[in-house]
A and B are shown apart, each in its own frame.
Chain A
Amino acid sequence: MQQEVRNRKRKDLIFALAGLFSLVFAICTLLVLVLDLWTTGFGRIDYNFLTSFPSRFPAKAGILSAWVGSLCVMLVTAFVAIPIGIAAGVYLEEYAPKNWLTTIIELNITNLAGIPSITFGLMALGLFVYKLQLGQSILTAGLTLALLILPIIIVTTRESIRAIPGTIREAAYAMGASKWQMIQHHLLPYSAGGIITGVIISLSRAIGETAPLITIGALTFIAFLPTSPILHEAPFISFQWLKDSFTVLPIQMFNWVSRPQAEFHVNAAATGLILLLLTLVMNGIAIAIRYRFRKKIKW
């Protein structure tokens, strides 16, 4: 009897140790990576680095066009992917008839979330650049990344909506609410935490994407900013920036890494650090939002 219990507890211990080892391994790898970037790149980050264009001289080069480009592309991506993704998720969960066609669509959306991102780049090159003649522009890049993260947003929207208990829907309907009222007053507000979390995490994935943007022809050396969206004379706003060529942080980084001079590698590390920091901040915001909503609503 005692022997048997001891045996089982030993297995417990073995599994716990194996788990601990895996965890330490994963965290150490990450730490080494971050530390390496930090020691190499941190000293390079200063005001000038953030406000200068890339240059032939490593000491003068900066990431101004890259972070502005990243920001513009993310704006387009968010603007396109968020409304479409949420609407598609709500439709699939609440309106779509439950039949084989819906099942096929659902399966394929889940599959799309796992497709290599370069495939999206190829598709965008054919569709946006050649067919629709949108050029190798911020608009094309934003649309490409929007397509890339659309499945993630759809899936998280559906999951967040599904987590709302059926009794809440019935309560709303029993009060005489129409379907849209039920969705607008209940499903969307109660699932907002989950949806926003999903959106931010998908955007933080998009901000680090390189392959599809290189495929559509993003430039690696850009020494100008996109056209200002604000004009000094009527009509005061301009969308010309959508058609401008661009670069983004990971592409700038890639460009510097492929240079032979060691000074450029330092620049790359500094860019990587900034990218990492951005992702970290975005994920932090996502966690904070999720925590706040969880505290407010419990089923």
Chain B
Amino acid sequence: MVEVNPNLQLRAEVKNLSFSYSTEKKVLNSVSMPIYDTKVTALIGPSGCGKTTLLRCFNRMHDLYKVKEYQGEITLYPEQMNILSKDIDPIEVRMRIGMVFQKPNPFPKTIFENVVYGLRVRGVKKTSFIQERCEKALQQAGLWDEVKDRLNSSAQMLSGGQQQRLCIARALATEPEVLLLDEPTSALDPISTAHVEELIIELKKDVTIVIVTHNLHQAARVSDYTAFMYLGDLIEYGPTTKIFTNPADKRTESYITGRFG
């Protein structure tokens, strides 16, 4: 059982979360962990351990596909709302929790329309406000200087790294409370990766981040807390420095030293 640090402010808490795609096998097995406010939490583990599945529970992405049962809770603070509850509309959850995907997936629209899409969905009409938000989000994503002169050109003209930062800007434009990053740099070159990592460290001042990564060095560099998962179980959770220097579990140690994975 993971102890919650009372000195830190909680943003979300996963409580005994189990999830399965089909009836036979559980992909998540009673996972419990805290997500602290304005910290970066990294989910690591070998392929198929359930880290992406866990991440996609946070914005109810699984609801898009054939009916799935969530067991357990993800409580969103401060109002302690269980976002997995059937009474909560997934759209409401997604309006508060943003997500950036593994492969950059900008819409085939202009750069401007990509960034402000979240506002369009919410029916925001005021042009000055939309433009302000667009600039701010692009600044936050470190893309403003590169695109400010061509906001009306197609997002598909950008490089892969720029596209991913555009997707981050798109997620930030609606000021989400939590930002989910699903292996955001796995499709990027080293320079773009470094760029995005700097960005993550910069962003955590304002927003809580949960990141899934295959890259252990990345987890060590950007995260404050790390959760190691294996075959659907949460094996170990703790401050990143502790997980990487002095893991309590044998399996965690084998994984971070590269003996399997």
User: What is the interface of chain A, defined by CB distance below 8 A to chain B?
Assistant: 98, 165, 167-178, 181, 185-186, 190, 296-298
Contact = CB atoms under 8 A, between A and B. Distances in A.
A165 B106 CA distance: 11
23 contacts: A165-B105, A167-B105, A170-B101, A171-B105, A172-B107, A172-B117, A173-B61, A174-B59, A175-B117, A175-B121, A175-B171, A175-B174, A176-B91, A176-B121, A176-B174, A177-B117, A177-B121, A178-B121, A185-B120, A190-B108, A296-B154, A297-B156, A298-B108
From A168, A171, A296, A297, name the one whose CB has the most chain B CB atoms within 10 angstroms. Answer: A171
Contact of B94 (A165, A167, A169, A174): A174
A160 to B, nearest CB: 14
Nearest to A169: B64
Contacts of B174: 175-176
Contacts of A169: 64
A175 B94 contact: yes
B45 interface: no
Contacts of B99: 174
Interface string B56-75: 00010100101000000000
Contacts of B170: 171, 175
Contacts, number: 62
B98 A174 contact: yes
Contacts of B108: 190, 296-298
Contacts of A178: 91, 121
Contact of A176 (B95, B103, B154): B95
A283 B59 CA distance: 45
B216 to A, nearest CB: 26
B118 to A, nearest CB: 5
B167 interface: yes
A173 B149 CA distance: 29
From B59, B107, B118, B170, name the one whose CB has the most chain A CB atoms within 10 angstroms. Answer: B107
B120 A176 contact: no
Contacts of B120: 185
Contact of A171 (B91, B107, B122): B107
Given A176-B121, A176-B122, A170 B64 contact: yes
The 3 closest A-B pairs by CB, nearest first: A176-B95, A167-B105, A297-B108
Nearest to B119: A175
A167 B107 contact: no
A268 B224 CA distance: 82
Contacts of A167: 101, 103, 105
A170 B105 contact: yes
Contacts of B59: 174
Contacts of B103: 167
Interface in B36-93: 59, 61, 64, 66, 91
Interface in B195-229: none
Contacts of B154: 296
Nearest to B123: A181
Nearest to A177: B121
B134 to A, nearest CB: 14
Nearest to A190: B108
A298 B117 contact: no
Given A170-B64, A298-B156, A176 B105 contact: no
Given A174-B98, A185-B120, A298-B108, 19 more contacts: A165-B105, A167-B103, A167-B105, A169-B64, A171-B106, A171-B167, A173-B61, A173-B64, A174-B59, A174-B61, A174-B94, A174-B99, A174-B101, A175-B121, A175-B171, A176-B174, A177-B121, A185-B121, A296-B108
A296 B154 CA distance: 9
B107 A168 contact: yes
A190 B106 CA distance: 13
